[in-house]
């Protein structure tokens, strides 16, 4: 008699447990619940990406500072004067050419071309 009562109670408890599990799973698979889960995951992913971006930015600043120290460069806040442009002097220098200028000042063939 006690044996039958034990197994009856065990079966009833297992049934209640299984029914509860199934109902929870069904509630989690409803559209409203799925949308809420997706939104939570999206917010969590956004926070993780933001933390990652901040870590990358901090690492970049640290590495840039290390490179400036290693190369002996000035601090990023210090502004140095750029050297004067030498392009004007380079452009004004005459370069030899294979073309000779004629009486009108227009360049023409010199006869030394390989055609």
Q: What are the pLDDT digits (tens) for 63-75?
A: 999 999 999 886 5
Cβ proximity of 110 and 100 under 8 Å: yes
pLDDT beyond 70 at 112? no
Name the strand (E) or helix (H) holding 108: strand 107-108
Cβ proximity of 113 and 98 under 8 Å: yes
Segment 49-101, tens digit of pLDDT: 999 999 999 999 999 999 999 998 865 565 556 666 665 555 555 555 555 55
Cα separation, 76 vs 66, whole angstroms:
12
pTM tops 0.85, yes or no: no
Q: Quote the tokens at residue 56.
A: 């990358």
């Amino acid at each position: 008699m006690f044996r039958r009562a034990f197994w009856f109670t065990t079966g009833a408890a297992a049934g209640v447990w299984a029914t509860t599990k199934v109902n929870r799973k069904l509630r989690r698979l409803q559209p409203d619940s799925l949308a809420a889960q997706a939104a939570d995951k999206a917010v969590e992913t956004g926070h993780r990406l933001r933390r990652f971006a901040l870590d990358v930015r901090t690492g970049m600043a640290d590495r840039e500072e290390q490179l400036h120290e290693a190369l002996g460069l000035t601090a990023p806040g210090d502004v140095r004067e750029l050297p004067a442009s030498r392009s004007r002097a380079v452009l004004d220098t005459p370069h030899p050419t294979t073309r000779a200028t004629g009486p009108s000042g227009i360049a023409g063939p010199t006869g030394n071309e390989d055609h």
